[in-house]
């Protein structure tokens, strides 16, 4: 067991990074770029050591480590370096002439302050470093608290962080539940936690005392639904793979699967086939369960199930191996569905897709739902009748891999988002600044006492015929506003193009050209985000 950070060491680290943030050092774009590049070299130079540490903690195959740890971290560094200046730049709000342009209104992107990042044990390095990348890009000072359950990875990160990163602004501390509780007694400006919903309740109870904004990246009982129309071989292969990967110890993994009764037996046969294919090289290639406590929890659930084990079920407490296990004849009241499994056990429930989504809604909202179907109407109905962090169709986990899309949960599976700009935003305060010219005060002087009733028309708001009294829901025209906006945009584009051509041919400059082109680009962005 490693020695945890002492109270005195923690206080020194806490005061140091607080002082550094107040100095303004981390707000510098140059500092942010420098640290992001240092994170890159930290990963690049220590790949062999990280493979070794993760093998010690989880018996994970080197290929899996490169795929799920190094690739995502390195891509994040490159993406954040590429967009840092763009994301950090001030924005001009679309607020009209007086409250927008004349008032000098602009939105500053400021770091929230000192962030605490608490990492998990299942991907102990990448799920600690990825939030760090986002926090550094935003200009925060950071305290990292990796999981003590992945001790080899924790100890390696202690060395790497100390060697590569600015110790005035980024520190790493260690500890168990007691030490984490002591850490959370201190005020941070942001807390980012990845882990279980059980621990998240403890985290949020502590951060609520300081009204600290908190991002929670949790999990939930993520289901798969295999419809009658599904490609059964594809569904079986993908679901078997996600239960094999990291021994199912993934917040995005398939917790249980609903299979249409008409294709149930075929699906089970294909599932068994793919598990055998994945295990051809032997169990030594498969990740182990993190520790004896979690092994006992999973073994206990298997022992108590009222379902039928049709594949696997074998385990070894000494080596912490549990073979991929398929259990059929499972109902929603089975002990296997009492909590998130987080292991290589797959309960199979025989039901059609409507009963499936009704059952899903009796549990907490998951981080992901996986739909295997060739029928668009079925897919749309399932999505419309459920809530989850994301949805992947005819694949698994892929919604979490879209680099520019938000990744996060809802309800039981978490709150807040990261990945790409959404990670930058998670650690950023958007601060509105207004600096109106002197004449604007005179222009708006009628708002101040003594009031003149003659000016009341200036503060009244009318809809100018945009809608009428007595309209019903059936009267509403959905989509009309968007099409009108696009039509206007096309007109502006045509005008801007003509003016630009005239500029080029005559050498004269029309002031409207750049303005209209700017409006056009802004409008295109709005359409893309809507």
* 443 pLDDT more than 90: no
Residue range 165-175: average pLDDT? 98
User: 379 is written with which tokens?
Assistant: 């897919």
CA nearest neighbour of 172 among 203, 204, 129, 134: 129
Q: Quick one: pLDDT band at residue 281, thresholds 50, 70, 90?
A: confident
What is residue 483's predicted lDDT score, i.e. its pLDDT?
Answer: 61
What integer best gives the mean pLDDT of the chain?
Answer: 92
pLDDT, tens digit, for every residue of 1-54?
568 999 999 999 999 999 999 999 999 999 999 999 999 999 999 999 999 999
| 10-14, 77-81, 106-110, 284-288, range with the lowest pLDDT | 284-288
Percent of the chain clearing pLDDT 70 (strictly above)? 90
pLDDT, tens digit, for every residue of 295-312?
999 999 999 999 999 999
Enter the DSSP assignment of 93. -
**CA dist 252 to 176, 193, 204, 257, 370, Å?**
25, 16, 22, 14, 10
CA nearest neighbour of 354 among 334, 336, 379: 379
CA nearest neighbour of 356 among 261, 435, 426, 289: 261
Q: Order of strands across the sheet with 345-350?
A: 308-311, 325-328, 345-350, 256-259, 223-226, 368-372, 390-393
Q: Quick one: pLDDT band at residue 473, thresholds 50, 70, 90?
A: very high
* 361 pLDDT more than 80: yes
What is residue 96's predicted lDDT score, i.e. its pLDDT?
Answer: 82
Residue range 53-66: average pLDDT? 95
Residue range 87-108: average pLDDT? 89
The structure's pTM equals 0.89
Residue 216 and residue 360: Cα distance in Å, rounded?
Answer: 21
Torsion (CA) 79, 80, 85, 88 in degrees, nearest 10: 130
Residue 450 sits at φ, ψ, to 5 deg, of -75, 135
Q: Quick one: pLDDT band at residue 100, thresholds 50, 70, 90?
A: confident
Q: One of 217, 340, 378, 412 is an active-site residue; which one?
A: 217
What is residue 99's predicted lDDT score, i.e. its pLDDT?
Answer: 81
Annotated catalytic residue 412: no
Enter the DSSP assignment of 478. S
Q: Quick one: pLDDT band at residue 439, thresholds 50, 70, 90?
A: confident
Domain boundaries, the chain: 7-218+419-431, 223-399, 482-519
| 52-61, 206-215, 468-477, range with the lowest pLDDT | 468-477
Give Cα 383 distance to the centre of its chain: 19
Q: Is the backbone peptide bond immediately before 450 cis, with ω within 30 degrees of 0? A: yes
CA nearest neighbour of 215 among 389, 68, 414: 414
Q: Quick one: pLDDT band at residue 245, thresholds 50, 70, 90?
A: very high
3-state SS track over 288-322:
CCCCHHHHHHHHHHHHHCCCEEEECCCEECCCCEE
Q: One of 140, 190, 251, 340 is an active-site residue; which one?
A: 251
For residues 282 and 307, the model is more confident at 307
- Regarding beta strands 345-350 and 321-322, do their DSSP bridges make them parallel or antiparallel, or are they unpaired? unpaired
* 510 pLDDT more than 50: no
Which is it for the CA torsion 237, 240, 243, 246, positive or negative?
negative
Q: Quick one: pLDDT band at residue 266, thresholds 50, 70, 90?
A: very high
What is residue 98's predicted lDDT score, i.e. its pLDDT?
Answer: 77
* 282 pLDDT more than 90: no
Enter the DSSP assignment of 364. P
* 497 pLDDT more than 90: no
Q: Fold for 223-399, please state it.
A: Aldehyde Dehydrogenase; Chain A, domain 2 (3.40.309)
| 321-330, 446-455, 497-506, range with the lowest pLDDT | 497-506
What is residue 530's predicted lDDT score, i.e. its pLDDT?
Answer: 47
Q: Fold for 7-218+419-431, please state it.
A: Aldehyde Dehydrogenase; Chain A, domain 1 (3.40.605)
Annotated catalytic residue 378: no
Residue range 350-374: average pLDDT? 97
Helix axes 376-384, 353-360, angle to 10 degrees: 20
User: 295 is written with which tokens?
Assistant: 């092994």
Torsion (CA) 266, 271, 273, 276 in degrees, nearest 10: -160
* 356 pLDDT more than 90: yes
């Amino acid at each position: 067991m490693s020695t945890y950070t002492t109270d005195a060491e923690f206080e020194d680290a806490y005061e140091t990074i607080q002082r550094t943030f107040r100095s303004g050092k981390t707000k510098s774009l140059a500092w942010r770029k420098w640290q992001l590049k240092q994170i890159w070299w930290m990963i690049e130079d220590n790949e062999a050591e990280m493979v070794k540490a993760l093998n010690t903690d989880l018996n994970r195959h080197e290929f899996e480590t490169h795929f799920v740890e190094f690739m995502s971290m390195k891509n994040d560094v490159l993406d954040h370096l590429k967009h840092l200046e763009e994301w950090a730049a001030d924005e001009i709000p679309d607020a009209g002439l007086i409250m927008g342009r004349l008032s000098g209104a602009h939105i500053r992107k400021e770091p929230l302050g000192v962030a605490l990042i608490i990492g998990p044990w299942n991907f102990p390095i990448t799920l600690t470093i990825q939030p760090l990348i986002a926090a550094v890009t935003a200009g925060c000072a950071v305290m990292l608290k990796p999981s003590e359950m992945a001790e080899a990875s924790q100890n390696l990160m202690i060395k790497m962080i100390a060697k590569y990163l600015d110790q005035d602004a980024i520190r790493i501390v260690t500890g168990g539940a007691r030490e984490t509780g002591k850490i959370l007694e201190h005020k941070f400006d942001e807390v980012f936690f990845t882990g279980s919903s059980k621990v998240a309740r403890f985290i949020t109870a502590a951060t609520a005392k300081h009204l600290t904004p908190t991002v929670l990246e949790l999990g939930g009982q993520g289901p798969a639904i295999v419809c009658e129309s599904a490609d059964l071989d594809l569904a079986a292969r993908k679901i078997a793979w996600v239960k094999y990967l990291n021994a199912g110890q993934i917040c995005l993994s398939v917790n249980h699967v609903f299979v249409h009764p008409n294709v149930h037996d075929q699906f089970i046969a294909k599932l068994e086939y793919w598990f055998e294919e994945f295990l051809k090289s032997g169990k030594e290639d498969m990740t182990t369960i993190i520790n004896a406590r979690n092994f006992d929890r999973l073994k206990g659930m298997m022992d108590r199930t009222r379902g039928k084990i049709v594949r696997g079920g074998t385990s070894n407490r000494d080596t912490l191996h549990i073979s991929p296990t398929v259990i059929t004849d499972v109902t929603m009241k089975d002990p296997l569905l009492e909590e998130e499994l987080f292991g290589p056990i797959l309960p199979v429930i025989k039901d059609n897709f409507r009963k499936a989504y009704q059952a899903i809604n009796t549990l907490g909202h998951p981080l992901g739902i996986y739909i295997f179907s060739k029928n668009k109407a079925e897919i749309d109905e399932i999505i419309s009748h459920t809530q989850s962090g994301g949805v992947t169709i005819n694949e698994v986990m892929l919604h979490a891999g879209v680099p520019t899309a938000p990744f996060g949960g809802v309800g039981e599976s978490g709150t807040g988002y990261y990945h790409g700009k959404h990670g930058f935003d998670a650690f950023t305060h958007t601060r509105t600044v207004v600096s109106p010219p002197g004449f604007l005060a005179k222009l708006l002087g009628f708002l101040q006492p003594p009031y003149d009733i003659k000016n009341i028309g200036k503060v009244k708001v009318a809809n100018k015929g945009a809608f009428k009294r007595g309209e019903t829901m059936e009267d509403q025209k959905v989509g009309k506003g968007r099409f009108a906006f696009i039509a206007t945009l096309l007109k502006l584009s045509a005008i801007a193009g003509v003016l630009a051509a005239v500029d080029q041919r005559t050498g004269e400059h029309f002031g409207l050209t750049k303005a209209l082109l700017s409006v056009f680009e802004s409008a295109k962005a709005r359409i893309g985000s809507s």
